[in-house]
């Protein structure tokens, strides 16, 4: 059907097999590419090669690992447009957002190139005076990363870069909906590897990209193998729990970046100009398909009418369309299933007592869902409990700050929370009370490769980025001297 069929990358080699699956453009609903469907032949080979690469890579001087990461950063930046177009075609996000993701995703390589040479440990006198405590870190071993479709590049680079920096080979299974971005990364990595004179066994097994429709088989088969030492997952809480259960078999280490249900708490002393800008950023990036997307807007009674009016003005400015069209500000959702799920969630909310304040228009072709605002949303409604993953703002009115804090924390999730206040005491108080791994304080975005990204409660555990990010790929060794 398509001239070029993208292969599976095992180290620096592209493999083709008979089975393929289509990649759909969510803005048209039509297939535009085919990719090879990895099965056990490929993932077994990837694991063998990764295991062979491990001791060699772990023994490669940190400075060389660092320079390799830095070269990948530069290669990605050089290919920004190719990455951005690929990402927009397979994920639907507006091209400007794809370009921003390329910069953000590449930055993990630059950041961890810098961290690769800072393998600090700790030294302390034993309190009893019996000697010295030395704490060092060692790479965990072969890693499996499983990534979602909403940020096809960045969700993978924030795992690949720290793993490589720490000295670990890594196999990556991209989401079935968006395999092409990482297949492209596989090619770029192979090109960069050619410019380094590493042992051929390193090049053959350092990073593998395994697109497949058999995610469950891949994870259960690889995790049944003791050589796999670590699983880093970004995706739904449901699959995360399953993987943690699977990891119990060999006690593999896991990092889990799971769902969110972020509150967006507007204090009575907030600056509405700032609030509106940040609200659009926190809610509408990637059409609301982000685990840190603002899910529940908590608005004080005294600001409610003013906020509601400004919100509708802003939401009515979004223009749906193909992401490659420069005027598009709202892309499609990833699939028909996701669109139907968001539509059903909104319908159910209305049945349960919410009011539809605003709904824009959206093309019928492709998987679009219009910008939507719901008011009178209460904790009893399903939409309050679930991650919406769509361009839908839900408004909940509150009377006093204690009520707002209780509303904000009334969720099983704890990834991001946003809070808005011009008063430093209110900010301090709210920050101390909100249960979340990340806080946006008068800010609508919390992502920075130099900061530890991650959640608490059923949003998972482990951190990506920052000085903490590399620790997910290291074992601690305590030496008594």
Cite the active site residues.
257, 291
Rule CB under 6 A: say whether 235 interacts with ligand ADP. Answer: yes
Rule CB under 6 A: say whether 92 interacts with ligand ADP. Answer: no
Using CB under 6 A, pick the residue from 242, 356, 451, 467 that binds ligand ADP.
Answer: 242
Separation of alpha carbons 207 and 46, rounded Å: 8
| Residue number, nearest CB to ligand ADP | 235
Cβ 215 to ligand ADP shortest distance, Å: 4
Rule CB under 6 A: say whether 221 interacts with ligand ADP. Answer: no
What ranges make up the beta strands (E) of 39-146? 122-125, 132-139, 142-146
Asked if 134 and 481 count as a contact pair (C-beta separation under 8 A), the reply is yes
Phi/psi of residue 213, nearest 5 degrees = -95, 0
Q: Which is nearer to ligand ADP, 184 or 239 (CB)?
A: 239
Cβ 211 to ligand ADP shortest distance, Å: 10
For the chain, what percentages of helix, strand and coil (3-state, to nearest 5) are there? 40, 25, 35
What is the three-class DSSP state of 471? helix
Rule CB under 6 A: say whether 216 interacts with ligand ADP. Answer: yes
Separation of alpha carbons 437 and 430, rounded Å: 14
Phi/psi of residue 330, nearest 5 degrees = -135, 110
Q: Which is nearer to ligand ADP, 139 or 174 (CB)?
A: 174
Cβ 468 to ligand ADP shortest distance, Å: 23
Rule CB under 6 A: say whether 441 interacts with ligand ADP. Answer: no
Asked if 426 and 269 count as a contact pair (C-beta separation under 8 A), the reply is yes
Q: Which is nearer to ligand ADP, 52 or 239 (CB)?
A: 239
Cβ 447 to ligand ADP shortest distance, Å: 17
Q: Which is nearer to ligand ADP, 146 or 436 (CB)?
A: 146
Asked if 336 and 29 count as a contact pair (C-beta separation under 8 A), the reply is yes
Rule CB under 6 A: say whether 286 interacts with ligand ADP. Answer: no
Rule CB under 6 A: say whether 215 interacts with ligand ADP. Answer: yes
Rule CB under 6 A: say whether 239 interacts with ligand ADP. Answer: yes
Residue with tokens 């990204």: 453
Q: Which stretch binds ligand ADP (CB under 6 A): 11-19, 153-161, 215-223, 413-421?
A: 215-223
Asked if 130 and 77 count as a contact pair (C-beta separation under 8 A), the reply is no
Q: Which stretch binds ligand ADP (CB under 6 A): 84-92, 160-168, 231-239, 266-274?
A: 231-239
For residue 116, what are its two tokens? 């690769």
Q: Which is nearer to ligand ADP, 191 or 386 (CB)?
A: 386
**Residue 370 CB neighbours (<10 A):** 19
Cβ 150 to ligand ADP shortest distance, Å: 7
Q: Which is nearer to ligand ADP, 148 or 331 (CB)?
A: 148
Q: Which is nearer to ligand ADP, 36 or 266 (CB)?
A: 36
Cβ 62 to ligand ADP shortest distance, Å: 31
Which are the contacts of 141, defined by CB distance < 8 A and separation ≥ 6?
A: 54, 168, 227, 228, 229, 230
- DSSP letter at 258? -
What ranges make up the beta strands (E) of 26-118? 30-36
Cβ 234 to ligand ADP shortest distance, Å: 7
Separation of alpha carbons 179 and 343, rounded Å: 26
Strands 170-173 and 142-146: parallel
Cβ 333 to ligand ADP shortest distance, Å: 11
Cβ 201 to ligand ADP shortest distance, Å: 27
For residue 14, what are its two tokens? 């592209």
For residue 450, what are its two tokens? 């130099």
Using CB under 6 A, pick the residue from 236, 348, 426, 475 that binds ligand ADP.
Answer: 236
**Residue 406 CB neighbours (<10 A):** 12
Q: Which stretch binds ligand ADP (CB under 6 A): 13-21, 109-117, 212-220, 376-384?
A: 212-220
Separation of alpha carbons 371 and 346, rounded Å: 12
For residue 65, what are its two tokens? 């690992």
Q: Which is nearer to ligand ADP, 79 or 147 (CB)?
A: 147
Query: Which residues within the stretch 139-198 sit at the binding site for ligand ADP (CB under 6 A)?
Result: 146-148, 173, 175-176
Cα distances (angstroms) measured from residue 278 to each of 274, 294, 304: 6, 10, 17
- DSSP letter at 13? E
What is the three-class DSSP state of 355? strand
**Total site size for ligand ADP, rule CB under 6 A:** 13
Rule CB under 6 A: say whether 336 interacts with ligand ADP. Answer: no
Q: Which is nearer to ligand ADP, 155 or 419 (CB)?
A: 155
Using CB under 6 A, pick the residue from 181, 219, 329, 394 that binds ligand ADP.
Answer: 219
Residue with tokens 């090109």: 191
Binding-site ranges for ligand ADP (CB under 6 A): 146-148, 173, 175-176, 215-216, 219, 235-236, 239, 242
């Amino acid at each position: 059907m398509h001239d070029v069929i993208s292969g599976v990358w095992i180290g620096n080699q592209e493999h083709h097999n008979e089975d393929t699956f289509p990649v759909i453009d969510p803005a048209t609903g039509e297939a535009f590419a085919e990719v090879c469907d990895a099965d056990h032949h490929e993932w077994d080979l990837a694991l063998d090669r990764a295991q062979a690469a491990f001791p060699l890579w772990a023994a490669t001087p940190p400075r060389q690992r660092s320079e390799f990461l830095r070269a990948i950063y530069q290669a990605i930046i050089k290919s920004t447009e190719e990455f951005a177009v690929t990402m927009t075609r397979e994920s639907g996000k507006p091209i400007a957002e794809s370009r921003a993701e390329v910069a953000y995703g590449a930055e993990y390589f630059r950041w961890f190139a810098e961290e690769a040479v800072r393998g600090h440990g700790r030294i302390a006198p034993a309190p009893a005076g019996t000697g010295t405590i030395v704490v060092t870190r060692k790479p965990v071993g072969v890693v499996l990363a499983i990534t979602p479709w909403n940020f096809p590049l960045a969700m993978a680079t924030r795992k690949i870069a720290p793993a490589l920096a720490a000295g670990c080979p890594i196999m990556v299974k991209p989401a079935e909906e968006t395999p092409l971005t990482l297949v492209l990364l596989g090619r770029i990595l192979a090109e960069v590897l050619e410019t380094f004179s590493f042992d051929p066994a390193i090049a053959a097994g350092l990073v593998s990209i395994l697109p497949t429709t058999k995610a469950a088989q891949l994870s259960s088969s690889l995790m049944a193998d003791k050589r796999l030492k670590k699983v880093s997952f970004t995706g739904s809480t449901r699959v995360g729990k399953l993987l943690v259960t699977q990891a119990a078999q060999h006690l593999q280490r896991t990092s889990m970046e799971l769902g969110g249900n972020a509150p967006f708490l507007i204090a009575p002393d907030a600056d509405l100009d700032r609030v509106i800008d940040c609200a659009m950023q926190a809610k509408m990036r990637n059409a609301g398909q982000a685990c840190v997307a603002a899910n529940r807007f908590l608005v004080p009674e005294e600001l409610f009418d003013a906020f509601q009016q400004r919100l509708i003005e802003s939401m009515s400015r979004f223009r749906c369309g193909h992401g490659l069209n420069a005027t598009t500000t709202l892309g499609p959702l990833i699939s028909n299933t996701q669109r139907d799920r968001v539509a059903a969630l909104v319908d159910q909310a209305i049945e349960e007592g919410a009011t539809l304040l605003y709904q824009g228009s959206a093309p019928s072709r492709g998987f679009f869902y219009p910008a939507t605002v719901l008011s009178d949303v209460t904790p009893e409604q399903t939409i309050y409990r679930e991650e919406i993953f769509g361009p839908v703002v839900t408004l909940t009115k509150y009377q006093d700050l204690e009520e707002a804090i209780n509303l904000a924390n009334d969720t099983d999730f704890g990834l991001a929370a946003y809070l808005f206040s011009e008063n430093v005491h209110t900010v301090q108080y709210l920050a101390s009370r909100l249960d979340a791994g990340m806080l946006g304080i008068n800010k609508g975005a919390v992502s920075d490769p130099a900061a530890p990204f991650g959640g608490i409660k059923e949003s998972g555990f482990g951190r990506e980025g920052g000085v903490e990010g590399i620790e997910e790929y290291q074992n601690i060794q305590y030496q008594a001297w």
